[in-house]
Chains A and B, each alone.
Chain A
Amino acid sequence: MQFKPQSGSGPAPENSYPRILRCGDRAVAIEFSDTVSEAANLKVLSLDVSLAAAPIEGILETIPTYRSLTVIYDPMIVRGAFLGEELMQRATHDTAAPETGRLLEFPVLYGGEHQADLDELAEMKNMTAADVIALHSSVEYRVYMIGFAPGFAYLGGLPEILHTPRLAVPRQRIEAGAIGIGGRQSSINSVPGPSGWRFLGRTPFRLFDASRPEPFLLKAGDRITFRSADTDEARDLDRQVASGTAELKEIAR
């Protein structure tokens, strides 16, 4: 069988959504949009809920992202072509509402070892650091997806004025819990590692800890608010997190 690329050199045809994308012989994706939108993300999560409630045999795992749901399957049990049809069917006919997700409050020690980025960001925006903190902690964020690293949360809802390009040269090590801004996105770092995002502060809470009964703190669909905490509170929470007694404040379900 010979594959013929369909794309020509002319203008790209408009895609219609949802559409099915094959991702090799063990995965298929259904895509709802090519941009970041809450509506598309809600459809992704709604379909994921539908698959969890009424599973299709042969599906091994599902990965919800901003705008698509990728399904990994065992080709010995089910075929991608069949799954694609099933996913389209469910996406266009199911009206199951996704869970609203929990509303969680994260205390943040703004500044600290991230004071330099906070000050630079404030300068770029012609604001004071206190203005940036007030703005960053004034809105509700939504977890659009978890990915890249264990428990790493991509958040939507960053006020437009805080949108800031990534650093030209990534830093070698950013600690877990760091609160970052990368372009239009914001995040909570989950494991230490290199990053080109700008960081405003840190939360003592850990998004991933394999030694906990529930290693992952967040899932796609959860909502988040940030509250400014002072050094004393942050140190106190650090101790509680280390001893496993810290509890994240759940504002609502």
Chain B
Amino acid sequence: MTALLTISRAGPMMSVQDEGRYGFRARGVSTSGAMDRDAHAIANALVGNDPDAAAIEFALTGGAFTADRDTLIAVTGGSCQVEIAGKPVPTWESHSLKAGETLTVGALRGAVWGYIAISGGIAIPKMLGSRSTHLRTAIGGLNGKALEAGDILPLGETGKFALRTLGTPYLRGHGPIAVIPGPQDDYFDADAWKTFLRQPYRTTTSRDRMAMVLDGPALNAFKGHDIVSDATVVGSIQVPGSGKPIVLTADGQTTGGYPKIATIASFDLARLAQLPAGQQFLFRAISADLAEEQAIHAEDRLAAVIAGLKKREG
């Protein structure tokens, strides 16, 4: 019998996500996957899942859950109130959720995207190689939709696994958000570049899994704000006629007709996505070659955190 997880309460934007859907951007299919890949991978590792197992992602507010089998759960992404059968438990470590007990996950503090991993993973069928939900086109996930109260998710098989906690601390970067100039960096003159790299920008409430609209001084593209549509990537910074930058995130469309002044460095994209609305920050430009080095270091750091997980007393 397949074990089932029942959702009795759901935050406004909760969905099934894994590491993403690869190989279909040429067919117009977005990558999707967790907005904060590190937090997603750590949640999975804490409950003994593979890093690419499907977990529940929530924006700002979690929900309430019950499983009909004994499971392990872990909540990561930021700090928030988590309770099992009415008893508070810490985030960023695994806990036992016995059959019939209720897990409640509250509101994130100082973060936007949270992850709830359950041992065995969410075992819905894959679509185009992934279980990730693309809400805009209803691909993947549970019928392509955001999770709601009353939804029931199948859980995968699991073996015995001890409770774990972080041995090596998981530290996010700090300071300005790193960007790599281009591909349409030459659409912007020296003044626009000075503005972009020296003036603060702010996150806004205009954000979802597709994109984040930023607030700050307008950026004028002296060559115009229309290009012949070309490919976008996760992290592309589009500048439409309003001059307000738009950062494409996990569910972002695969092509676009706005000039892209720069691309967020892959290792800083989750840090930007996790900034609460209204938070001010600066950009800094680095070369693509240096960004690759730092991206590799970031992968090594994540691997060290996962390898450093230690057993804890239940």
Interface residues of A (CB under 8 A from B): 1-3, 5-9, 12, 15, 21-29, 31, 34-36, 60-68, 70, 72, 75-76, 79-81, 145-152, 154, 190-191, 193, 208, 210, 215-216, 219-220
Contact = CB atoms under 8 A, between A and B. Distances in A.
B107 to A, nearest CB: 31
Looking at B182, B189, B254, the one whose CB has the most chain A CB atoms below 10 A away is B254
Interface stretch (B50-58, B158-166, B282-290, B306-314): B282-290
Given A65-B229, A149-B136, 8 more contacts: A5-B185, A9-B191, A24-B265, A25-B180, A63-B26, A67-B228, A67-B230, A147-B28
Given A26-B266, A62-B26, A191 B292 contact: no
Nearest to B264: A24
Nearest to A149: B28
B304 interface: no
Interface of B: 22-29, 127-128, 136-139, 180-186, 188-191, 193, 222-223, 227-231, 233, 235-236, 253-256, 260, 263-267, 285-292, 294-296, 299
24 contacts: A3-B181, A5-B190, A22-B180, A22-B288, A24-B180, A24-B291, A25-B263, A25-B291, A63-B25, A63-B231, A63-B254, A65-B229, A66-B229, A67-B230, A76-B299, A80-B288, A80-B289, A147-B229, A147-B253, A147-B255, A148-B229, A150-B29, A152-B28, A154-B229
B296 A210 contact: no
A35 B229 CA distance: 10
A210 B183 contact: no
B233 A35 contact: no
Looking at A15, A27, A34, the one whose CB has the most chain B CB atoms below 10 A away is A27
A208 B30 CA distance: 14
Given A65-B230, A152-B28, A5 B288 contact: no
A190 B138 CA distance: 13
A154 B286 CA distance: 34
7 closest residue pairs by CB, A with B: A147-B255, A24-B263, A3-B285, A21-B183, A70-B231, A25-B291, A5-B193
Contact of B26 (A9, A61, A80): A61
A154 to B, nearest CB: 7
A210 B292 CA distance: 34
Contacts of B292: 25, 75, 79-80
A178 to B, nearest CB: 16
A66 B228 contact: yes
Contacts of B189: 7-9
B289 A79 contact: yes
Contacts of B180: 22-25
B230 A29 contact: yes
A67 B263 CA distance: 20
Given A151-B28, A190-B28, A68 B185 contact: no
